[in-house]
Amino acid sequence: MKFRQIHLVSRPSGPAASLDNFAVVSCALPASTATMAKNSVLVRNAYLSLDPYMRMRMSDVKSYAAPQPLNAPMLGGTVGQVALSNFDGLKVGDWVKLQGGWAEYTELPGKACTKITVNKDVPASAHLSVLGMPGVTAFYGMRHLIRPKAGDTVVVSAAAGAVGSCAGQLAKLAGCRVVGLAGGADKCAVVVRDFGFDACLDYKAHATPKELQESLARECPSGVDGYFDNVGGDVLNAVMPLLNPFARVAVCGAIANYQAAKPVPLLQPNLILTSRLQLTGFIISEQPKKVWDEAQAELERLVAQRTLKWKETVEHGLENAPKAFLSLLRGGNVGKQLVAML
Amino acid sequence: MKFRQIHLVSRPSGPAASLDNFAVVSCALPASTATMAKNSVLVRNAYLSLDPYMRMRMSDVKSYAAPQPLNAPMLGGTVGQVALSNFDGLKVGDWVKLQGGWAEYTELPGKACTKITVNKDVPASAHLSVLGMPGVTAFYGMRHLIRPKAGDTVVVSAAAGAVGSCAGQLAKLAGCRVVGLAGGADKCAVVVRDFGFDACLDYKAHATPKELQESLARECPSGVDGYFDNVGGDVLNAVMPLLNPFARVAVCGAIANYQAAKPVPLLQPNLILTSRLQLTGFIISEQPKKVWDEAQAELERLVAQRTLKWKETVEHGLENAPKAFLSLLRGGNVGKQLVAML
């Protein structure tokens, strides 16, 4: 029997990735545990997580992650069910979270899988969004770096995305005024109506960073105490002058730079001193287990209480992962971008 | 009897301050405590501290400090001896530290003065440098923000200055490789020979930021783990790409911007994310008493041990304070810039 993987077969030649950077590759499934490594499992992946950081790894440039190897499966997080097991800790049918890559099946050491609970309140896919990397990213950036107090004003970019939507809700729970930034009127409506932000500005409806800054200033009459930055670039430049003394900026993503020919400069770095700002870049996968455990416990509690909302944009079929990924980079998603392979 | 103050009589019309922004004003001394406010003292200032931050306050722009009022004495820290007292806590002859301003005498509430110890190991002027604001600034930025570990590489700009020379010595005491940046070969020699830095680069001897970066890369073969930034601008741009993952930047000053027509942009803010950097701007006067007490106790211990060195550039006569201040802004000083009025 065969299954499919998506390989990176070429690196983007310019700023933008394209469909021909990817290829579907057919592979043989192990017929039984007899042909599998000791203590390994075969997982049938149900959902693949697509994330903006993957674009950085497609290019062979210095970044926090090693470049994605060529002619090998694209890396990525998945959830799925164990299909074959010769590992004592997991049996066929168990739901697990893993670095399964862009693949319908993954064979890997059993201890590299994390068993997850799937029930009517918590679908399998939630472990890739609100309870997974995006949720923990939002939690760490908001609770550990922005540390909002009741009455603070917090701005969140890419507010309709998996990370931003969660980050903004956590700031609302802390008693803040929360203003989102998103691309398009539809997304802004979702951010306010479904995620409960106080306001959301459509950055695409502003012709210049200056206009965006003026709109944002109107929505933040007491200035900005925390900025959860998923995009960098012009939006960061628009937010900077509105930051209050001692404001914190959690630098979580830089979508604006991932497909740009060169980085957008920060126009007023002098504000770091004059407004006594703290800007901290972070990658959640590097945080210790303690941070993940604390975040996941709290997020599970909030999900169980139905206090925390999340959304998904689901593409069906692994062969459509490249298309869905390029759409994600253009902001085509609301909430977590997933590929379903069930 | 008369004494002199220096007033700000006009704001700089362009980027550079000039001598005609200042004027010497003659004032009457109180003849006795009878004409002074209750619980006040009259201090004869011995030394005035000149600091780059004063340039910012001369302009009427948004910054961390309110603009310096026009037609009033320039603000600034001094040390001096009590000349008249109707405050129980201080008697004539006591040495005190105060916000005395650019003035030969200052009348102020006794409780606004801090009594200081002056002896053969600790001259009065040390309370304005290594034991005063510059020393505490260096201590806070290094110990609380950069938090160096043995084996780290730390870069310090304005390394021959009062803050930078102390910051670098604290990093050496922590077991770091310490590379200074200063303007001119003479200053660089002082930084290495007298302050014990491992190396010091003359930024003026480099035609472009790129060349400076290349020299710095050679002096920092293991990258840079901490950067104590006193200058901002092109130097910050040169250091940024050399920063290792998780490096800390203490943003303490931005001398490059104080007299610039517009801020120098930060060219690669994307590195904040990709190198997981932390940039923190701070103003030492805003830190709580606990921070000052901890720093001063440790600095006094290091001075008493003769472990910590400091230097002073002293101008004589209050009337020469404007000239000395403009020289400071051009980097004319080594160590702490003071005006002696004894």
3-state class of A83 per DSSP?
strand
Yes or no: say if A60 and A11 are a contact pair by the CB < 8 Å rule.
Answer: yes
Which residue of chain A has the CA closest to B248? Answer: A280
- Of chain A, the percentage scoring pLDDT greater than 90 comes to 87
For residues A243-263, give the mean pLDDT. Answer: 86
Instruction: Write down the pTM of the prediction.
Output: 0.89
Contacts of A275 in chain B (CB under 8 A): 64, 281
pLDDT at A99 exceeding the cut of 80:
yes
A64 touches B at CB < 8 Å: yes
Q: Which two tokens stand for residue B303?
A: 């001075």
Torsion angles phi and psi, residue A286, rounded to 5: -90, -10
Contacts of B251 in chain A (CB under 8 A): 272-273
Beta strands in chain A (DSSP E): 2-8, 22-28, 40-49, 78-85, 95-98, 105-109, 114-115, 153-157, 177-182, 199-202, 224-229, 243-251, 278-281, 312-316, 336-340
User: Which residues of chain B fall short of a pLDDT of 70?
Assistant: 62-64, 258-259
Q: Which residues of B touch A270 (CB under 8 A)?
A: 232, 254, 257, 263
pLDDT tens column, A210-233 = 999 999 999 999 999 999 999 999
Is pLDDT above 70 for A74?
yes
Cβ atoms of B92 and B85 within 8 Å: the answer is: yes
- DSSP for A13-79 reads SSSS--GGGEEEEEEEPPSSGGGSPTTEEEEEEEEEE--THHHHHHS-S-SSSPPPPTTSBPP--EE
> pLDDT averaged over chain A?
94
For A142, which DSSP code? I
Note the pLDDT tens digit of each residue in B253-266: 887 776 677 889 99
Verify whether the Cβ–Cβ distance A281 to B282 is below 8 Å.
Answer: no
Q: Read off the pLDDT of residues B268-323 as tens digits, 9 standing for 90 and up.
A: 999 999 999 999 999 999 999 999 999 999 999 999 888 999 999 999 999 999 99
Residue A239, pLDDT above cutoff 80 = yes
pLDDT tens-digit readout, A76-92: 999 999 999 999 999 99
Looking at A45-59, A170-184, B259-273, which range is the least confident one?
A: B259-273
ipTM (interface pTM): 0.86
Query: Closest chain A residue to B65 measured between Cα atoms?
Result: A274
**DSSP state, A264?**
P
CA-to-CA separations, B262 to A160, B178, B282, B335, in angstroms, rounded: 35, 31, 21, 28
Residue A257 has pLDDT above 90, yes or no: no
Using 50, 70 and 90 to split pLDDT, how confident is the model at A60? confident
B267 at interface of A, judged by CB pairs closer than 8 A: yes
pLDDT exceeds 90 at position A253: no
**A277 → closest Cβ in B56, B276, B281:** B281
